[in-house]
Structure 1
Amino acid sequence: MSSVVSLGLDFGTESVRAILVDRTGQQRGVASCQYKHGQILQSLPGGSDPLPPRFALQCPGDWIESAAQATRQAMKAAHLSADSVVGIGVDFTSCTMLPTTIDGTPLCEVQQFRQTPLAWPKLWKHHGAIDQTERMNSIARQRNESFLGRYGGTIGLEWFFPKMLETIELAPDVAAAAEVWLEAGDWFVWRLVACEANDLTRSSCQAGYKAMWSASEGYPSQAYFQAVHSQLAEAVDNRLPGVMRAPGESAGGLCKSMADQFGLAVNTPVATAIIDAHSAVPGVGAAEPGTLVMVMGTSSCHMLNATEFADVPGVAGVVQGGILPELFGYETGQAAVGDAFAWLLRLLNLDSFDAVAESALQLPPGAEGVSCLDWMNGCRTPLMDGNVRGAFTGLGLEHGPEHLYLALMEASAFGLRWIVELLRQGGVPINRFVATGGLPHHNRAFVEVYADVLGETIEIHPSTQGPAVGAAVLGMLAAGSEVTGFANVKEAATAMANDAQQKSEFIAPRTERSDAYASLYQRYRSLADVVQTTQSDQ
């Protein structure tokens, strides 16, 4: 049974990663493949008209082609036969969503809509629905909708229904043609199993965190949607077919055409999709409550499981069983982390931070007076406002790139400290911090700043593939206990995420710097208050 292998497919913003993990945690093969069209930010493929501001789209064909290529490469590297893989797990960026026909054809692949931007999948970071989000929030608050309590009182700009409403209002011909609206992760799983629309699997994780769905109440009421827009109410009632399932449940078996394209066996069980950041929780073996898993990449998502529900303002979502069974999964996040560093590189005209990193780390806490607010892509937690913008203050002629670099790292760490304070003040325990994703392994100094600002020890999990391993864990669950020997996700996560050949690294706070950050954190909070107030008045 030790040779039983599961495939995890981890869909990120720029690429997809395929990983093959056996039940002991050994990573047998890993490969990644960039999307041909990447993030579609400037103009549509084959077109020249500029996209509106804040648009971020993707090409659905890229997801299939890149995943198939990465899977074949991983299988070749692992020297595995097709029948060695007993299950397939999928994690995906969210909310990335799209409209399709009843047979699953994306509307952007229909000739008449190829050059209509809102017919294309909207990437998670698409921020075109500002007006729609504000109106949905206003009406929900006026009606005192019960679902608001699960989301810190705010519907997020990046979520499912604001993006639907944006299309209904700005591209009515696309909305009229849309027979199915769904998350990209659910669409990909649907493609793998090739079932009828009424039988497609919708992830309770994706729906719970991004579409205000709960097991007890379902989606928000028709009365609420009618108050927002009658066509939105109609679409919710008639254009969201499918069956809600939890991550790790089987969505069906791999169809022949996809089996041939991926080089896998027909009828291999495919797990229900999970949000990419949430997948990192089983991926690092954090199967117990009280562990904050910090998935640090293009943006950061901080996941926490608890035994009780707490109404915490600004939390992006609390879903029972949304991450692990029987626990309340809390999601918080920061909208620009890796993206903010990439922006600063472009601004400074640098290829990397290597040239300034050493001098930046020799600076005292506070970057010699330079402060930063890292809201370059809005603020997710605690403001849930994609419209606010960042700032650098305290700049003088004596400051250089190293000051900006350190100030940006500190701003990101201060944002996390704010999140931790909110959760703890709301009565949600946090007793362990685990960092995963690309940034912790590529930038140890960044984690050191985090530890100093938090005043807490941070564990860098040895795997650089936390979400991908988590997807493989869920693929193993979909295969069934009789095949794998795992009775539940806790058993599978504990065994598969803790490879004995790899050890975690623990980054402890440095007392002198940590003490200095206590007052500097208050400076950050004051700057946040000023910027938020100033921008809201404009």
Structure 2
Amino acid sequence: MSAFPPPVSLGLDFGTESARAVLIDTAGCELGIGSEHYQHGQILDALPGSNVRLPDRYALQSPGDWIRSAATATRQAIAASGIDVSRIVGIGVDFTSCTMLPTLRDSTPLCEIDTFARVALAWPKLWKHHGAIEQTDRMNDVAKQRNESFLHRYGGTIGLEWFFPKLLETIENAPEVADAAEVWLEAGDWFVWKLVGCDADRLPRSTCQAGYKALWSPEEGYASPDYLSAVHPKLAEAARSKMPGVMLSPGERAGSLSAEMAERFGLPAGIAVSAATIDAHAAVPGVGAGEAGTMVMVMGTSSCHMLNSEQGKSVAGVAGIVEGGILPGLFGYETGQAAVGDAFAWLLKLLNLDSFERLSRDAMALPPGAEGVLCLDWMNGCRTPLMDGKVKGAFTGLSLGTTPAHLYRALLEGSAFGVRWIVDVLRESSVPVEKFVATGGLPHHNPDLVQVYADVLGAPIEIHPSEQGPAVGAAVLGMVAAGQDKSGFADVTEASKAMAAVPDDRKRVIRPAMDYHDAYQVHYKRYRKLAEQLS
């Protein structure tokens, strides 16, 4: 047994509302956790410090919040752990995606310059920003007319929440911002850039973020200049001259922690920093799910359902199919639902209730099907399988006897039916889905939701014990970036199994009630019929 304590990695997880930090060692012991909400949260109504109102469908964030919250969360985690920070050998970063922003070549966000502080599109556009509907439609129309080769990797559709539609939105609606921008990049890449402090030409760009959200592949690079020019000449020019950097896979070393950021975070300078990854993708190594056929359901404000497969097949409506995009040697499929926790919070507010406690108890006392009340869970559009941010949600089957419990039960079931639809689409395309693992805060705080999911799917769902699946996954990537000489791990798969896998005797599994599953067959067909009518 070694006399020296094992090395430690720091995982930084950037969500929609807050940043989280976790310190974890090579044996998988979570030593300390910290969390800090963003000062400005989601910027949905007006720009900070001004009366500039935002249009509908806008969702922005403040880059200063990311630095402040991450630094505070890291110091909290260090204090909770009590460790000597010299043990920390790696830092990994996961981020919501596509959250993107324009900067200068010295990494200064345009929104932090007085000239642009009151211009909405100079601020980072959060993943859920849906201002680029017109631009997305045009990009899809041109891509389909030209039969662009990248379409087969994205189920035939460019997503509303992706990189280039948001860039095009700025070109057309805030040309002064687009002209002043010297660098366009994902927020995760920006944060890693800030950590390592390199020049713009060596900016570390994540192949995960680019592969799933920016029409990039190692074989073809970004979408062709001819295609981008056909959409808008300035879009092609931005891709050519305003997206510098080096493409790196998550787990590859992006650089070393700069002295400036080390002081701010309470860490020693020189720690290895991994290239960024998408938050949901980080959850796959974060729960130790290294095998093909396991769907990792990352459940939070929205949900992403990640699946690795030995085969790469085009599946209509899947948000991305990238070889090695999640784990090396496998094809990573990204699917998801655009509103989950957000939809529950909306209903609670709509009903003017303070908590879910009684609402949940009353809802779970109702039979499957909520006594005829049916919900279509498209409160923020439909991600998979329609890839359409314009569609709307609905409740049907209402009567004077409908209660808040009926609405909540129907919303739980609608969310579960959405997952069932995703699984059906994959299986119908001969992509195996054999096992389910749930992670994120929602499965721990809302076990009724997981039970309804299990009943609708007719399959057991394992709830990973850590509420910090993405942060743990980021820490795994940070450990790999430190190198085998410091971590002892040769690759992401090996590190994931050692740091995040759960022994069978510790697994918490929610099993389906098969009589409920049988009852749900009829209600699921009603859901699909309603979806067909409203899409």
Shorter-chain TM-score: which interval? over 0.9
- Report the counterpart of residue 260 of structure 1 in structure 2: 263
Structure-1 separation of matches of 2:272 and 2:348: 43
Decide whether the 8 Å contact of 1:2 with 1:23 is kept in 2.
Answer: no
Aligned residues with identical type, % of pairs: 66
Decide whether the 8 Å contact of 1:205 with 1:274 is kept in 2.
Answer: yes
- Report the counterpart of residue 326 of structure 2 in structure 1: 323
- Report the counterpart of residue 276 of structure 1 in structure 2: 279
CA deviation digits over 1:329-383, x for unaligned, max 9? 0000000000000100111001112122112111111100100001010000000
CA deviation digits over 1:255-286, x for unaligned, max 9? 00001001111110000000000000000000
Counterpart of 2:396, as a letter, is T
Structure-1 separation of matches of 2:503 and 2:518: 36
Structure-1 separation of matches of 2:70 and 2:505: 27
CA deviation digits over 1:462-501, x for unaligned, max 9? 1111000000000000000011111111110001003669
How big is the shift at 1:509?
A: 1.1
CA deviation digits over 1:109-143, x for unaligned, max 9? 01100000000000000000000000000000000
Greater alpha carbon shift after TM alignment, 128-137 vs 351-360: 351-360
Structure-1 separation of matches of 2:361 and 2:260: 52
- Report the counterpart of residue 536 of structure 1 in structure 2: none
Pairing of 1:320-399 with structure 2 (within 5 A) = 320-399=323-402
Structure-2 separation of matches of 1:324 and 1:500: 21
Counterpart of 2:89, as a letter, is V
Counterpart of 2:65, as a letter, is D
1:134 partnered with 2:137:
yes
TM-score, scaled to structure 2? 0.98
Counterpart of 1:482, as a letter, is D
- Report the counterpart of residue 451 of structure 1 in structure 2: 454
Greater alpha carbon shift after TM alignment, 350-359 vs 409-418: 350-359
Counterpart of 1:352, as a letter, is S
- Report the counterpart of residue 215 of structure 1 in structure 2: 218
How big is the shift at 1:309?
A: 0.6
Structure-1 separation of matches of 2:98 and 2:55: 19
- Report the counterpart of residue 127 of structure 2 in structure 1: 124
Structure-2 separation of matches of 1:223 and 1:516: 52
Counterpart of 1:194, as a letter, is G
How many pairs does the alignment contain?
532
Decide whether the 8 Å contact of 1:382 with 1:419 is kept in 2.
Answer: yes
Counterpart of 2:353, as a letter, is L
Structure-1 separation of matches of 2:260 and 2:503: 37
Pairing of 1:429-444 with structure 2 (within 5 A) = 429-444=432-447
Decide whether the 8 Å contact of 2:52 with 2:118 is kept in 1.
Answer: no
- Report the counterpart of residue 313 of structure 1 in structure 2: 316
Counterpart of 2:526, as a letter, is R
Structure-1 separation of matches of 2:165 and 2:517: 40
Match for residue 417 of structure 1 among 408, 417, 420: 420
Greater alpha carbon shift after TM alignment, 371-380 vs 353-362: 353-362
Counterpart of 1:302, as a letter, is H
Structure-1 separation of matches of 2:103 and 2:493: 36
Structure-1 separation of matches of 2:96 and 2:519: 37
Structure-1 separation of matches of 2:488 and 2:498: 11
Decide whether the 8 Å contact of 1:461 with 1:504 is kept in 2.
Answer: yes
How big is the shift at 1:81?
A: 2.4
How big is the shift at 1:204?
A: 0.2
Counterpart of 2:157, as a letter, is T
Structure-1 separation of matches of 2:433 and 2:508: 19
Q: Name the SS of the counterpart of 2:151 in structure 1.
A: helix
- Report the counterpart of residue 85 of structure 1 in structure 2: 88
1:17 partnered with 2:41:
no
Decide whether the 8 Å contact of 1:26 with 1:499 is kept in 2.
Answer: no
Unaligned runs of 5+ in 2: none
Counterpart of 2:115, as a letter, is Q
How big is the shift at 1:502?
A: 8.4
Q: Name the SS of the counterpart of 1:105 in structure 2.
A: coil
Decide whether the 8 Å contact of 1:461 with 1:503 is kept in 2.
Answer: no
Q: Name the SS of the counterpart of 2:506 in structure 1.
A: coil
Structure-2 separation of matches of 1:283 and 1:294: 12
Q: Name the SS of the counterpart of 1:259 in structure 2.
A: helix
Counterpart of 1:265, as a letter, is P
CA deviation digits over 1:173-209, x for unaligned, max 9? 0000000000000000000000010001000000000
Decide whether the 8 Å contact of 2:289 with 2:501 is kept in 1.
Answer: no
How big is the shift at 1:503?
A: 2.0
Structure-1 separation of matches of 2:408 and 2:342: 13
Structure-1 separation of matches of 2:169 and 2:197: 29
Decide whether the 8 Å contact of 1:39 with 1:56 is kept in 2.
Answer: yes
Q: Name the SS of the counterpart of 1:462 in structure 2.
A: coil
Pairing of 1:167-178 with structure 2 (within 5 A) = 167-178=170-181
- Report the counterpart of residue 535 of structure 1 in structure 2: none
- Report the counterpart of residue 513 of structure 2 in structure 1: 510
